Amino acid sequence: MSGSITSLLKEKGKKVEEDFIVPKGAMDHFLNLMKMPQTGNNQPPLSDYERTMNIERWREGTRAAHKLNVAERAAFCEQNNMTELELLQIEYGEDWWKQPLPLPPIIWKFELGKDLVAPEQIPKLPTRMRQLHSWYKMQKSKLFGASYLDEDLHKGEGRVWVDFEHLYHFYQQGALDVSIMTLWTV
C-alpha cells in the first residue's frame, strides 16, 4: 500500500496488516482439490449456432421418418387398391376418429404402503414429490387431510380428505379426477 493510504488508515484507528499468511493446512487442502480429476462433462458448452443446427438436424430427421412412414403407407394402399381412409378403418374400426387417446400404462394396482412409482423412478422425482412419497410410505391410514384457506377456494376455511389412491394416480400421471386437480392447485 502507498504511504498516503496507510497513514489515512492509521488515523482512523484501524490496524494495517502488512502480509496475510495462509495456513499450510488450508493451502494443502486447496492444492489437493486442484489435483483431483474432473468429473462430468469436460466438453465446452455448445454455441447458440451449434445448438440451433443440432435442433434443425433433429427436425429434419423426424420429418424424413414421417415422410418415409407416409410413403410406406401410401405404397401399401396402392398395392392393395385401397384408400388411406379404408386403411384407417381397418386398423382402428369404423369410428377410427372417435378413438380415445391411449393412457400411460399403469404397471401395478395401488396397494397402501407400496411405492407410488417404480423404484428406479424415485431418485428422478422432484424434491418435494420425493419428500411426499417418503412421507406417504410412513403413513398407516387410508386418507390424509389438506387444509385450505378462504383465499384458496373462496369457500371459507376448511379441510379436504384425500385418499392415498388419488395420490397414486397423480404420481402415475393417469386420468385425474377434478377433485384431485383441485387439491394440487391449492
Top-confidence range, 8-17, 41-50, 51-60, 93-102: 51-60
pLDDT tens sequence across 104-143: 555 678 888 888 888 888 888 888 888 888 899 888 888 8
**Angstrom distance (rounded) from CA 129 to CA 111:** 18
Q: Look at the block and give the residue holding cell 489435483.
A: 35
pLDDT computed for residue 171 by the predictor: 79
pLDDT computed for residue 145 by the predictor: 87
118 touches 151 (CB < 8 A): no
Read off the pTM.
Answer: 0.39
- pLDDT at 175 > cutoff 80: no
**Angstrom distance (rounded) from CA 45 to CA 35:** 23
Q: Per-domain residue ranges for the chain?
A: 48-98, 119-185
What totals of helices (H) and strands (E) does the chain contain, helices first?
8, 2
**CA quadruple 128, 129, 133, 136: dihedral sign:** positive
